[in-house]
Amino acid sequence: MLEVRNIEQTLKSFKAFSDEKRLRILSLLAGGELCACDLLDKLGITQSGLSYQMKILTESGVVESRQEGKWVHYKINEQGTKAVIQLIKELTKIDD
């Protein structure tokens, strides 16, 4: 059973996967780390639009970021994705 204290993080995790733009971003990041400038070019969205989407993805724990000069670089957070997989297993577990 999902603990009450984990519900907020669960909502953040599922929100990360509930938008077409965020799924496109995750698909691009599956190929490896990318600079925000590269994501902007590939997605054709504004910097503020990308910033909004990346905030949701990083808060969910699925994506991590690092600053390099004036640009932020993003990549898939392996621990975060493992946590989401475990969460889905827990939520869909059938008790005997």
Q: How confident is the model at residue 34 (pLDDT cuts 50, 70, 90)?
A: very high
pLDDT in tens, 60-72: 999 999 999 999 9
Report the b/e string of 3-20 with b at 16+ CB within 10 A: eeeeeeebebbeebeeee
d(CA 12, CA 19): 12
Contacts of 45 (CB under 8 A, 6+ apart): 21, 53
Cα dihedral: 64, 69, 70, 72 (round 10): -10
Global pTM reads 0.84
- Residue 22: its H or E element: helix 20-29
Does the pLDDT of residue 2 top 80, yes or no? no
| pLDDT, position 7 | 76
Q: In order of start, what are the domains of the chain with their CATH numbers?
A: 7-91 (1.10.10.10)
